[in-house]
Amino acid sequence: MKLTDDIINALHICIDESFDSVNDFARFANVSANTISKYMRRETKNIQEDTWVKIQPLIAVYLPRNASKGKVKHELELTADQKILLDAFGELPKDVQDQKLLEIIELAKQYLIAAQAGDQDPD
């Protein structure tokens, strides 16, 4: 997939606003920090599909509307609860969606850190 200016800008903003560092973002996305740095410095023109699948959910809120649609070539299998949640989320205003995505990312980071530390609950 082509590495666009929109993707590079979204990476920069996402990392600046939601993560402590490129390493923190890369660890959370389960990709190489070196790879993310290369993208941010425009040292490559393409993103590997497996990397895009991992980073796209994290930067989606920072991409222009529809910039990330149709890029992942597989269908996600969602539970009924997940479908209900997505439908309800889609009814929210854009600014509320953005805020809720940031909250969810922060919550997921806390759970990931707790899991890595061997805890079950971050609280």
Residues 57-83 have pLDDT tens digits of 999 888 886 554 444 433 457 788 888
Domain match, 5 and 38 both: yes
Domain match, 89 and 70 both: no
| Phi, psi dihedrals of residue 46, rounded to the nearest 5° | -135, 155
- Count structural domains, the chain: 2
Domain match, 36 and 89 both: no
For 3-36, write each residue's pLDDT tens digit: 999 999 999 999 999 999 999 999 999 999 999 9
CA distances to 24, 57, 121 from 30, rounded to whole Å, are: 10, 12, 21
Q: In 3D, which of 85, 76, 80, 35 has the Cα closest to residue 57?
A: 76
Q: Which domain holds residue 106?
A: 77-123
> What's the 3-state SS for 51-113?
HHHHHHHHHHHHCCCCCCCCCCCCCCCCCHHHHHHHHHHHCCCHHHHHHHHHHHHHHHHHHHH
